[in-house]
Amino acid sequence: MFYLQMAMEVTQILLNAQAVDGALRKQAEENLKQFQEQNLPSFLFSLAGELANDDKPAESRKLAGLILKNALDAKEQHRKIEFVQRWLALDPTLKAQIKAFLLRTLSSPSLEARSTASQVIAKVAGIELPHKQWPELIGSLLSNVHQLPAPTRQATLETLGYICEEVSPDVVDQEHVNKILTAVVQGMNSTEENNDVRLAAIKALYNALGFAQANFSNDMERDYIMRIVCEATQSPELKIRRAAFECLVAISSTYYEKLAHYIQDIFNITAKAVKEDEEPVALQAIEFWSSICDEEIDILEEYGGDFSGDSDVPCFYFIKQALSFLVPMLLETLLKQEEDQDQDEGAWNIAMAGGTCLGLVARTVGDDIVTLVMPFIEENITKPDWRQREAATYAFGSILEGPSPDKLVPLVNMALNFMLSALMKDPNNHVKDTTAWTLGRMFEFLHGSALDTPIITPANCQQIITVLVQSMKDVPNVAEKACGALYFLAQGYEDAGSSSSPLTPFFQEIVQALLNVTHREDAGESRLRTAAYEALNEVVRCSNDETAPMVVQLVPVIMLELHQTLENQKLSSDERQNELQGLLCGCLQVIIQKLGSSEPTKYHFMQYADQIMGLFLRVFASRSATAHEEAMLAIGALAYATGADFAKYMTEFYKYLEMGLQNFEDYQVCAITVGVVGDVCRALEEKILPYCDGIMTQLLKDLSSNQLHRSVKPPIFSCFGDIALAIGENFEKYLLYAMPMLQSAAELSAHTANADDDMTEYTNSLRNGILEAYSGIFQGFKGSPKTQLLMPYAPHVLQFLDSLYIEKDMDDVVTKTAIGVLGDLADTLGSNAGHLIQQSVSSKDFLKECLSSDDHLIKESAEWAKLAISRAISF
């Protein structure tokens, strides 16, 4: 009875598992693993008993709770499902004992044990409540919560908060929600003398907001909740004030439409906090207004600013109304910079929060902000104190997105010379950093072919480039912002086409300057190396025919660098080499796409193709997922550029393709590899045939695996379509496997009752993948004697299209693909499918709707479908 002995010694084993002595620790971990595998029920019971026992050492109790929690939940979806099933299958009596231990621990004198138990109870609730088990939990937690000693009250409220975080609102009935909110609001009340209880109550309210729809719709209850939250922002205790403001931020996004009555009071509270309170509280007070901006930006974008009487989500224009008070408050925060904030990547302080909020306000109200901010800029931009100069520059940069070009271009034209000179001559690094950032924003939002009056002219172009190139030699954080400004400068000429870009004469100088940056000793700081490569890629991507010969000359330079990182890696493998390989592969990808897009340049580039492919294949030997992703993407670009000639690389490349498709761990690598299979299919067409058995086998395995991240599944379906298009009627032998997979996925994705936004988005990408597969299969078989093989599947495809049309929640992309599939089906199956098409709902109503769509892509697709259908039916 090995595990009986274990159960008796569990305390010692848990302590040994945290020992300094490695051998002792390893032995204990092994014991715990054996105990869990040999007798899970007894193992979980022992852990819960350990956690509940106040005579045991704090260390063993804490670890017992942690292991218990990890036995109930996992990050990976497939393990999570497994743990849920495992818990549900345990003996009910045993589970009741474990739950009793956990509830008992909530009144332990040890804060750590109470807090751990709270988390474990929530994990159990997360499994049981959706299965209609443990219905008495919330009642028993709340039964006499107000008579309990303060530590137990605190633990009970903490538990309620965790439960609300863990389960979705539909598994808790309204009666229980009311009880939870009553207990929470009572715990928050200023009459509650214990600060720990009050803090736990506020955090619980934060998690329970999603459950409170009905309560927020009731004026009296809402008034009461809002009053208590606002009172808590005035508590003498910093943690409570901060948590109360966090609650207000959450309320602002969850219940925006219910705020009108409170907004004046909230403005007064937040303004006072921003001015006088400590930083953690002031940051949340600013966040409230940023959150309101986010809401209003979303509403105005969705409704295009025209609110006729029938709009569901009216915009209350809170920002517009508060503008003349809000802007001065935010401008004042800009002067509260920290000395070293521009060196610290994760820095976040009042000045940065205020500037971010100012930027959101500018996007919310547009032109109205300009006159409120300009006086502050004019007054401070030349002051001797760096803080004033930096704040003025930051304010200017913040308002460049939102207001109209008509309003901003004249100001930018006046400021541009001043900014360029400040970037060269200001004695302060902060000011230079913000100046370079502001120039980048000017180029991002006010420069490009869409604008009538260019801010960059042949007259000032040379000066701008000279300053940016010089600035790239500055300290890393300033140089990084200069690279960013150059990125947007190049991007503005993207649509210049073959007409000469003003950057053309400086192309060589810019490229050389960026390469020099990548070789700086300190290029690892402030993301400098990455920013330099990003700028280089953009300069290449937006270049024109005139500079193509120089882009060709860049190929051997970047190849040599990639070769060197591979050689260095033989000596030592460090993170930097991996990061560099990723950046260089990314750069080569952009160059390949650029040179491959026109025949004359492609011809010059081809001399390097074999060597480049050799380098990419060597990158797969490194251990870095990022480098793998970039190399894979670059190979996809190479396949596209080389076309049928890519066949000569397949024997060697195939094993890496298979490795990528098997990479469940780094699912991004897997998803990218699936995309590259598509690129290779388009390049090789029927020459891909010898590799299709292996590829299809692996793709079908991926689809049926529960370990693969769901985001990879839509591209796999699209990939079926790419393969079918490439090999045509040879796809016949895969129909038997691929079609049932497509059918079951189609049935799952057709109905999306009450899904959240993420789920709806995922469902639409899944639908699109399925439809792309059908489209590729129909087109692949077109004109082949084997088209009859598709007939048995036609009714199901039409049924899928009908159900999508009836659901009415397709996005534009899916609509376009769906109506295209209808056309492909008619086009390939012709008169054989005529009668089926006539019977389907979608072919009439859906087609009619698409023909009158505003979206020209949908309309185009529908016109082609109409033609194909009329041919199929008229036979």
Global pTM value: 0.89
Distance CA 323, CA 330 (A): 10
What are the angstrom distances between the C-alpha of 680 and each of 122, 310, 385, 723? 49, 50, 60, 9
DSSP 297-341: HHHHHHHTT---TT-SS----HHHHHHHHHHHHHHHHTT---TTT
Average pLDDT, the chain: 92
CB-based contact 432:394 (threshold 8 Å): no
Mean predicted confidence (pLDDT) in 37-65: 93
User: Does the structure show a pLDDT above 90 at 580?
Assistant: yes
Distance CA 5, CA 15 (A): 16
pLDDT at 754: 64
Best CA proximity match to 677, nearest among 662, 649, 658, 663:
658
pLDDT at 760: 85
CB-based contact 585:616 (threshold 8 Å): yes
pLDDT at 332: 97
**Angle made by CA atoms 530, 533, 538, in degrees to the nearest 5:** 125
Best CA proximity match to 221, nearest among 249, 191, 180, 165:
180
pLDDT at 343: 67
Q: If you count them, how many residues does the chain have? A: 875
Residue 459's pLDDT band, with cuts at 50, 70 and 90, is: confident
Mean predicted confidence (pLDDT) in 652-659: 95
What are the angstrom distances between the C-alpha of 173 and each of 129, 135, 138, 311, 348? 11, 10, 11, 30, 40
pLDDT at 184: 94
Tokens of 240: 């409570």
For 150-168, the pLDDT digits (tens) are 999 999 999 999 999 999 8
Tokens of 249: 């931020």
**What are the φ/ψ torsions at residue 517 (nearest 5 degrees)?**
-60, -45
CB-based contact 595:551 (threshold 8 Å): yes
- Three-state DSSP class for 132? coil
Query: Of 117-126, 169-178, 526-535, 647-656, which range is least confident?
Result: 169-178
CB neighbours (10 Å) of residue 213? 13
DSSP 647-658: GGGHHHHHHHHH
Q: Per residue in 513-529, is it b (16+ CB within 10 Å) or e — as a string?
A: bbbebbebeebebbbbb
pLDDT at 3: 53
Distance CA 738, CA 199 (A): 55
For residues 420 and 709, which has the higher predicted lDDT (pLDDT)?
420
- Strand segments, DSSP code E, in 330-385 are none
Residue 706's pLDDT band, with cuts at 50, 70 and 90, is: confident
pLDDT at 305: 55
User: Does the structure show a pLDDT above 60 at 1?
Assistant: no
DSSP 433-500: HHHHHHHHHHHHHH-STT-SS-S--HHHHHHHHHHHHHHTTS-HHHHHHHHHHHHHHHHTTGGGTTSP
Residues 6+ apart with CB under 8 A from 814: 764, 767, 768, 771, 804
Distance CA 220, CA 222 (A): 5
Tokens of 609: 């193709």
Distance CA 858, CA 818 (A): 10
pLDDT at 364: 96
For 98-119, the pLDDT digits (tens) are 999 999 999 999 999 999 999 9
Distance CA 564, CA 576 (A): 13
For residues 317 and 75, which has the higher predicted lDDT (pLDDT)?
317
pLDDT at 5: 63
pLDDT at 277: 96
CB-based contact 805:845 (threshold 8 Å): yes
For 190-224, the pLDDT digits (tens) are 888 899 999 999 999 999 999 999 999 999 999 99
- Three-state DSSP class for 311? coil
Distance CA 724, CA 743 (A): 17
Residue 360, H or E segment: helix 350-365
CB-based contact 103:112 (threshold 8 Å): no
Query: Of 16-20, 519-523, 608-612, 655-659, which range is least confident?
Result: 16-20
CB-based contact 196:157 (threshold 8 Å): no
CB neighbours (10 Å) of residue 171? 17
Mean predicted confidence (pLDDT) in 607-612: 96
pLDDT at 147: 85
Tokens of 583: 């950046």
Mean predicted confidence (pLDDT) in 536-544: 95
Query: Of 336-345, 676-685, 781-790, which range is least confident?
Result: 336-345
